[in-house]
Amino acid sequence: MQEYLATITGLADDGRGVARLDGRVCFVSGALPGQTVAVRIVRDRKRFAEAACLRVIGDMPDAVAPLCPHEAECGGCPLQRMPYARQLEWKTRLVRDAFGRIGGLREAPVREALASPRLDGFRNKMEFAFGAGEDGKLVLGLRRRASRGIVDVTSCALLPEPGMDMLEAVRQLARASGLPPYAWPEGGRGSRAGSPAPGGVWRFAVLRQGRDAAGRPGWWLLLITSRVDTAARRTVRRLGEVLLERFPGMLLGVVHDIRDADDALAQGDRRVLELGPCGAVMRQDLDGLPLVLDAASFFQVNTEAASLLCREVVAAAALESGSAPPRWRDASGPVLWDLYCGSGAPGLALAGRCSRVLGVEYDAAAVRRATDNARALGFAHCRYEAGDAEAVLKRLAGRGALPAPDVVLIDPPRAGMGAGVTAYVIGARPRRIVYVSCNPATLARDAGRLCAAGWRLRRVQPVDLFPHTPHVECVALLELDG
């Protein structure tokens, strides 16, 4: 197979290096800006090529030592050899590029990315996948770079202590259980037509750090398996009981969820078991706001950086009345739509300054958590609806029960707002839109549509919740012109 020499001059939003070969753009897995590398083409397209880095010929002049012994094979932290200041520079650049290239907003007011308060040991949640090694032995770890394979990790700089001790205990007990690991379908999108079902039992072990009801720190373990019989359920239960005995006062809950679909999502369809003093109930604090969650609930994985993000949301919404109170649509105070609200955060950080809050979230379990969290905080004026966002807005509008918003907070999945939701937001004409996004591309697309409909993009603040990766969160503020 022919090798090429490539000089990496850029960074793609998925962490691959960008070079030019024979006048075409080439995306190189495992390479970083400033490196000269030997590459092999793995996919040849008409307008671009994709390649794998075989070896580094010349490194970045300011390269730093990797944090992790698995850096060369694990796909989790592709930027860790890049100095952190340069990581932030590239993340800011990626956001600016997305707004110009996708949103048509070339003069977008993108600020410099805010740094994560911590660069290691910062994750409150990590998902580890089970699989089979080359020798057929069960492995438990993280995805191999550019592959569905799994690195049997023995160390991770992102996981606080004693997370790795717990992971090793899970690995050894799962190996001794006799239950086979799940055989992941190629590409992670399900079995191809005519191919055998993946089969296997163990899918994921998810470690989460949080607090109990009294505020004491601890850990939760979520075990996700395929559908299993009664004997296998007893085996999983026994594994959980052993772990609780081995880590007393530290491991506060063990949960067993089942997933039927042949895919690579670390999300259960139904619950089988809750063990331990706290079961599946945990607490996370967001910038001083206590939130009760389920062990499977979504919450930002970097707690300290998530608090920075929350402060940016509050500042962007700017609901303080000041010396000249704005003319809210409700005389008693602003009305907030909180779309894709999850378990209530960060919208609940704004609720105390609002007269009404309407939260919309697809996941019914998250809506129940949001309702409970609002009640615990004394916010009787918060109402949460479960379902597809467009369908919920349409249903409420049809009943005349859709309040006119002063501010809309949007925190959608990576795909961004659907066209129907965008139409409802535009039709509602809120004074401010605060858009939180984990995907600069769809944020830029949606911001472009909103600007074309009469809003002005006031600022975009990237916040680094994921050091050593190309991922970046953003908070964008749009204000209605006139």
DSSP per residue over 100-117, as a string? HHTSS-TT--BPPPBPPS
Q: What is the CA radius of gyration of the chain?
A: 24
Strands 356-361 and 382-386: parallel
Q: Is 140 helix (H, G, I), strand (E, B) or coil?
A: strand
User: 295 CB contacts (<8 Å, ≥6 apart)?
Assistant: 206, 208, 220, 222, 253, 255, 280, 281, 282
Look up residue 31 and give its two tokens. 């390479």
Catalytic residue (choose from 382, 438, 451, 474): 438
Which amino acid is located at 84 in the chain?
Y
Please indicate whether residue 382 is annotated as part of the active site: no
For the four alpha carbons of 278, 158, 414 and 373, in that order, the dihedral sign comes to positive
- Does an H or E element contain 125, and which? strand 125-132
- Are 241 and 231 in contact by the 8 Å Cβ rule? The answer is no
Beta-strand ranges (E) seen in 194-311 are 202-211, 217-225, 251-258, 270-275, 281-286, 289-294
Look up residue 164 and give its two tokens. 């790795």
Which amino acid is located at 12 in the chain?
A
- State the CB neighbour count (10 A cutoff) for residue 109: 15
Q: Is 353 helix (H, G, I), strand (E, B) or coil?
A: coil
Alpha-carbon gap, residue 91 to 361, rounded angstroms: 29
Q: Which amino acids are annotated catalytic?
A: 438
